[in-house]
Amino acid sequence: MSPKLVADLAYLKGADCQFRFIGEGAANIVFEFIFPGKDITTIQDDGDSKILKILQGKLLRVPKANTKAFPHPEILQYWESSISPLFDNPQEDLAQQYLVRLDNSIVSELNAVLEDEDAQRRTDFQGTKVAEAEYGMLVEDMRKKSPTDLLLEFKPKWLTPSPTATRCRNCAREAYRIHKSLRSASSQSPSSDQDAAALLSNPPLCPLECLAAQSSPSSLARVIESMNLSATSASLDTEPATRENPTGAQPAVSLDGEGMEEVDERYRVALVHWLQTNSLLPKLRDAQEKLDPAPEGTTDKEELALAMTLRDCTCFVRISEDTQGGVKVEAKLADLDKKNWEAKLEYWKELEEKLKEGGYYEGVEVPRVGTRCLWEVEGEEAS
């Protein structure tokens, strides 16, 4: 059974709709709907405005041209039949997605927006276009609703690493990425030089830290520290956070630092509480663990595809004010797209080989690059 179509974007003709580029990955591009001079959040469900009502609180996610990803109806069908049932409360745990029909003129408009934005895009994505696809999807907008909201976005990748490794799969992959970048920097342009330097000086936070934050104060501190928060108001029962004291457990020294994001202290407390108590990440970890086939060892390819889908999603945690003036926490997983194992199997196997043979799982690659892997950081702290 195909997923239900919620809207045909051809009905936007004449509605003075524009699109703003929000972000992209390897397979999809995400846009915001803009209606100049109109606030669609106040539109009621009547007649011609029905389409605008449907778009409220949603972004447009469309497939990129020339990828091996499945068409969006298939991705949505899989999401409904194979992903949602893994979660007790899919409405709460997953960013909601809905099928929409595109048309050629919308695809052309989106591509014109992309062309204007090209210089701002990730260098390896520049020049890529929206596919001439019949369908796209609306996704629940998980960005900040107000500039004062607090948003945490990260990829909770490979939460069950191999017990024999000393680096998690994600950080091994990051070390490999840094090596590749260094190699191309030595042979290519100043921009790849900059990419390599940026990766070397600021490796990404290890995804295991977000899960470990449930029981480890050091992990919790590192996650909060990575967000560079400073408080705008102090709560009664906790000390405000600082760079030196990210969770606010001890008296604060200073509130503001250069480049720090000012945040309502109640929101920081709510984030700390979510990190310590959420059931979403353990649930995802358990689902990843239950499947856990290694790309090179599996016989059931559909199971492998599901495992790889669960290992490559995005988690959004948005903290905002609710209608009663209290604090609301919304934590949802997005980008749980069906993986095309036939197209990706060789890549998965080769990458696994490279990570193993290059010593990236053990941190013995040459030259060795520093990562922020939880296991390495804990090892350094202990020695």
Ligand X SMILES: Nc1ncnc2c1ncn2[C@@H]1O[C@H](COP(=O)(O)OP(=O)(O)OP(=O)(O)O)[C@@H](O)[C@H]1O
Q: Alpha helices, DSSP H only, in 82-156?
A: 90-93, 104-117
Which string of x and - marks every residue 341-360 that binds ligand 5MY (by CB under 6 A)? ---x---x--x---------
Considering the rule CB under 6 A, would residue 26 count as an interface residue with ligand 5MY? yes
> Pick from ligand X, ligand 5MY, none: which does 334 bind, CB < 5 to 8 A by kind?
ligand X
CB of 264 to ligand 5MY, least distance (A): 30
> Pick from ligand 5MY, ligand X, none: which does 308 bind, CB < 5 to 8 A by kind?
ligand 5MY
Count, residues near ligand 5MY per rule CB under 6 A: 11
Considering the rule CB under 6 A, would residue 74 count as an interface residue with ligand 5MY? no
> Pick from ligand 5MY, ligand X, none: which does 23 bind, CB < 5 to 8 A by kind?
ligand X
Q: Alpha helices, DSSP H only, in the chain?
A: 50-55, 72-78, 90-93, 104-117, 169-187, 190-201, 207-212, 217-226, 265-277, 280-291, 301-310, 341-357, 374-382
CB of 244 to ligand 5MY, least distance (A): 31
CB of 140 to ligand X, least distance (A): 6
Q: Which residue is nearest to ligand X (CB)?
A: 25
Considering the rule CB under 6 A, would residue 339 count as an interface residue with ligand 5MY? yes
CB of 171 to ligand X, least distance (A): 17
CB of 69 to ligand X, least distance (A): 8
Among 103, 193, 312, 321, binds ligand 5MY (CB under 6 A): 312
What Å distances lie between residue 316 and 68, 92, 280, 367, CA to CA?
26, 12, 11, 35
Considering the rule CB under 6 A, would residue 62 count as an interface residue with ligand 5MY? no
Q: Please list every residue from 279 through 308 that binds ligand 5MY, using CB under 6 A.
A: 308
CA distance 188 to 86: 45
Considering the rule CB under 6 A, would residue 173 count as an interface residue with ligand 5MY? yes
The per-residue DSSP string of 8-32 comes to EGGGGTTS--EEEEEEE-SSEEEEE
Q: Across the strands, what pairs with 99?
A: 5, 137
Q: In this complex, which beta carbon is closest to ligand X, that of residue 67 or of residue 166?
A: 67
Considering the rule CB under 6 A, would residue 197 count as an interface residue with ligand 5MY? no
Q: In this complex, which beta carbon is closest to ligand X, that of residue 31 or of residue 375?
A: 31
Considering the rule CB under 6 A, would residue 27 count as an interface residue with ligand 5MY? yes
Calculate Rg over the CA atoms of the chain.
22
CA distance 49 to 93: 29
CB of 93 to ligand 5MY, least distance (A): 20
- CA nearest neighbour of 338 among 10, 28, 65, 131: 28
Considering the rule CB under 6 A, would residue 210 count as an interface residue with ligand 5MY? no
Tokens of 40: 């669609």
Q: At CB < 8 A and 24+ separation, what contacts does 84-89 make?
A: 86/283, 86/287, 86/310, 87/283, 88/283
Considering the rule CB under 6 A, would residue 165 count as an interface residue with ligand 5MY? no
CB of 233 to ligand X, least distance (A): 27
What Å distances lie between residue 260 and 224, 269, 375, CA to CA?
12, 17, 27
Question: Which one of the spans 21-29, 97-105, 110-118, 192-200 is the region binding ligand 5MY (CB under 6 A)?
Answer: 21-29
Please answer whether residues 279 and 315 qualify as being in contact, where contact means their C-beta atoms are separated by less than 8 angstroms: no
Q: Which residues bind ligand X (CB under 6 A)?
A: 22-28, 30, 59, 61, 95, 139-143, 314, 334-335, 337
Q: Across the strands, what pairs with 59?
A: 139
Residues 97, 101, 107, CA angle at the centre, nearest 5°? 105
CB of 104 to ligand X, least distance (A): 22
Q: Which residue ranges make up the site for ligand 5MY (CB under 6 A)?
A: 25-27, 155, 173, 308, 312, 339, 344, 348, 351
